[in-house]
Structure 1
């Protein structure tokens, strides 16, 4: 029998009589409450508005108020500003930008993101990001004039971002939440580069970037209709890994335990616990084969990031001129979006963001010891906001964490008669009300970016 899932939610209060060394509650009704507020109708309204701009190509018109990328950006900015007014000014709306030239941008062009920042109450430099790209395209990636509705690629991801902001802005969190509508993805992942650079410049400790790209279709080109599965792609070894770190990891393991991969596992556990008939298929790859997304610049900057994508894609509706050919309708139009499914994907995102933001930061300095002994000793550095820690282990060939033991408010646990050679190990930090961080694998291979200072003695 599987043990309790890694994350089962938030209890609204901690009983005063609970023993100090007892684990916090693991059932959190507030996550179901949050998930229930996601509206398919709101998602539909957002995509309908985005499609109405005709094209959102990065090289399209920036001055018109009715057509092109400029009009779309200004509408998203106005939408974020309206949401901020609804929550008493809780969102700071910024438009970071940079000018690029490249293979798909022949002339210097400003690429601008539209970003809403919900500052954390006690740990504002710890940041969880949701992103989707605003720009669209047709068959010719340089065609900035033809209609490119971009309903699913990536109006769906942008709608999920805006809906996440609408729902989560009603709550307060210790960590900061960032809602990002990016531009320039189709021309070379430029919007992701702009936001990753902004994060670095502002000292963000990005714990996770949830990049949503093509998340609204349920009818695959293969004829399969799948309304219950979403894929979460994650890198195996860090893009920033040094040669020395790689040599250690090759010998001791960790190729399957990057922080991004443990964020993906975290999302899978949440889906199983809180969403009805909806599951995460964790794909052990940075992105689809020979393709990319805006999570890649985050990974290259050293930040944990995953790509969220529908279970079965339909390539006749991606990067296509609007046409009917051989009895097949081509083009990324709104009738190709399943809004109930998109709502489920959005629910996964919002409960992940909330759970991460209410949890302590992932523990740092996780290490294991136990060579030539029958026991394994796991150690870590404490982090602010943690009431205790949970030690995890799994078979080295198992895809998800299998077993756990509560360590209390300690920085060490000895696992008697559990041989270090046979298992993978990790540690999660847990708040007093039961929110847990992602599991952290020992050493550089599993360490999350942005180490927090050790708790004062």
Structure 2
């Protein structure tokens, strides 16, 4: 049994157990309708009108809030709608402007302070990032991400989870990742334990501007060295390893291993970078606060249909319109997000393990108990291996320490996962400096 199949079998138990019904596949029709509605607001530029009822960022945010309210009503008022905001000025915001996120919170039944976030950004732009009046459809960038978030809320809100799921439409991404910062600051102010952030930005297209197409993969970006690392952590990582074991990197491995149980013809291409070269996304403010976060984006980007004024030059049309999207592809990415959210929402937090193998022929691995965990598993992989081995070296233990006789720790990365009483397994946290799924710098 290979690593991916084994991990999939364990993790999908979090979605398919008797406690919850399996979510229906994402609806291409609903995804299209949501994208078309967002495009109909003309522009959703952050500096556009916040009060016009039919055009601009304010109208788009109001619509998103109404959609979340409809979803909440359908599940018996299971969603709390909040709109955290900050007033911002900066290089791309010359006058004080309210940056408002539209957020729906599905409270967990057992550990409501333990949170998973799925998000996309609702704002759009054209060629000039300061142009707040021209039509900026923003179909793929990023109405696709917001439509995904709404569809995830529809799929998962009828179910009950021990931990909280947060669905978010963020503002101000194009003006400097501002809405991501608003929500990250809000999460910290609420005292949330953020287990994972799934940022979806440009997730609805399958063909690039050079004609190359790929509808069989989605890229998943994850940071290597932690953005919130201290000098002490960086020094320890140089001595003990961990450059490839940030929480985001192990979250990426966890999500990738879900894919075969969802659609064998679809796959994740893990990209071991925090984001695309020279660019950024709304996962970044969460990483800077020490929260595990990853970014989903298309396998191949089309730069003719991204950040462009609407125009035709020669035979080439420029502009981010609905016609150039691939809704069956967006549905695949949505299904993967839904499966990941369900698996994460049912599992405990990953432990914070420590490994001691200095000057001895065995390795001791220890960790503290985790709320909601019934058992733990210990994993290993070679230091130059991409993924954890197919099966754990210790499984189903209720203890919080193990002695691995004959395992010389110099040659291995060790990790520990936690499982709920129903068998829902957490991502693996590596026993390396900075490997725990918690901020390194506490307030």
Q: Normalising by the residue count of structure 2, what TM-score does the alignment of the two structures yield?
A: 0.95
Alignment of 1:221-236 (within 5 A): 221-236=209-224
CA contact (8 A) 2:240 2:433 kept: no
Three-state SS of the structure 1 residue aligned to 2:61 is helix
Distance 1:228 1:341, change over 3 A: same
Three-state SS of the structure 1 residue aligned to 2:68 is helix
Distance 1:203 1:32, change over 3 A: closer
CA contact (8 A) 1:34 1:351 kept: no
Q: Which residue in the other structure is 2:403 paired with?
A: 414
Three-state SS of the structure 1 residue aligned to 2:88 is strand
Is 1:354 matched with 2:342? yes
Q: Which residue in the other structure is 2:419 paired with?
A: 430
CA contact (8 A) 1:206 1:450 kept: no
Unaligned runs of 5+ in 1: 12-24, 452-457
Distance 1:418 1:326, change over 3 A: farther
Distance 1:127 1:6, change over 3 A: same
Q: Which residue in the other structure is 1:446 paired with?
A: 435
Three-state SS of the structure 2 residue aligned to 1:157 is helix
Q: Which residue in the other structure is 1:45 paired with?
A: 33
CA contact (8 A) 2:11 2:425 kept: no
Is 1:6 matched with 2:11? no
Distance 1:77 1:172, change over 3 A: same
Q: Which residue in the other structure is 1:253 paired with?
A: 241
Q: Which residue in the other structure is 1:326 paired with?
A: 314
Three-state SS of the structure 2 residue aligned to 1:154 is helix
Q: Which residue in the other structure is 1:281 paired with?
A: 269
Is 1:78 matched with 2:66? yes
Instruction: Give 1:377 deviation, angstroms.
Output: 2.1
Q: Which residue in the other structure is 2:379 paired with?
A: 392
Q: Which residue in the other structure is 1:92 paired with?
A: 80
Structure 1 residues 137-146 or 367-376, which shifts more? Answer: 367-376
Instruction: Give 1:63 deviation, angstroms.
Output: 1.3
> Whole-Å Cα distance in 2 between the matches of residues 384 and 29 of structure 1?
20
Is 1:378 matched with 2:379? no
> Whole-Å Cα distance in 2 between the matches of residues 369 and 222 of structure 1?
51
How many pairs align?
Answer: 437
Instruction: Give 1:225 deviation, angstroms.
Output: 1.4
> Whole-Å Cα distance in 2 between the matches of residues 130 and 27 of structure 1?
16
Q: Which residue in the other structure is 2:256 paired with?
A: 268
Three-state SS of the structure 2 residue aligned to 1:392 is strand
Q: Normalising by the residue count of structure 1, what TM-score does the alignment of the two structures yield?
A: 0.92
Is 1:107 matched with 2:95? yes
> Whole-Å Cα distance in 1 between the matches of residues 202 and 15 of structure 2?
31
Q: Which residue in the other structure is 1:18 paired with?
A: none
Alignment of 1:79-158 (within 5 A): 79-158=67-146
Unaligned runs of 5+ in 2: none
> Whole-Å Cα distance in 1 between the matches of residues 91 and 15 of structure 2?
51
Distance 1:370 1:126, change over 3 A: same
Q: Deviations over 1:372-416 (max 9, x none)?
A: 333222211111211211111111111111141314111122333
Distance 1:67 1:58, change over 3 A: same
How large is the Cα RMSD of the aligned pairs?
1.8
Instruction: Give 1:27 deviation, angstroms.
Output: 9.3
CA contact (8 A) 1:34 1:168 kept: no
Instruction: Give 1:35 deviation, angstroms.
Output: 5.0
> Whole-Å Cα distance in 2 between the matches of residues 383 and 358 of structure 1?
14
Distance 1:237 1:203, change over 3 A: same
> Whole-Å Cα distance in 2 between the matches of residues 218 and 62 of structure 1?
33
Q: Deviations over 1:205-250 (max 9, x none)?
A: 1111100000000011232211110011111111111101110001
CA contact (8 A) 1:10 1:433 kept: no
Three-state SS of the structure 1 residue aligned to 2:81 is strand
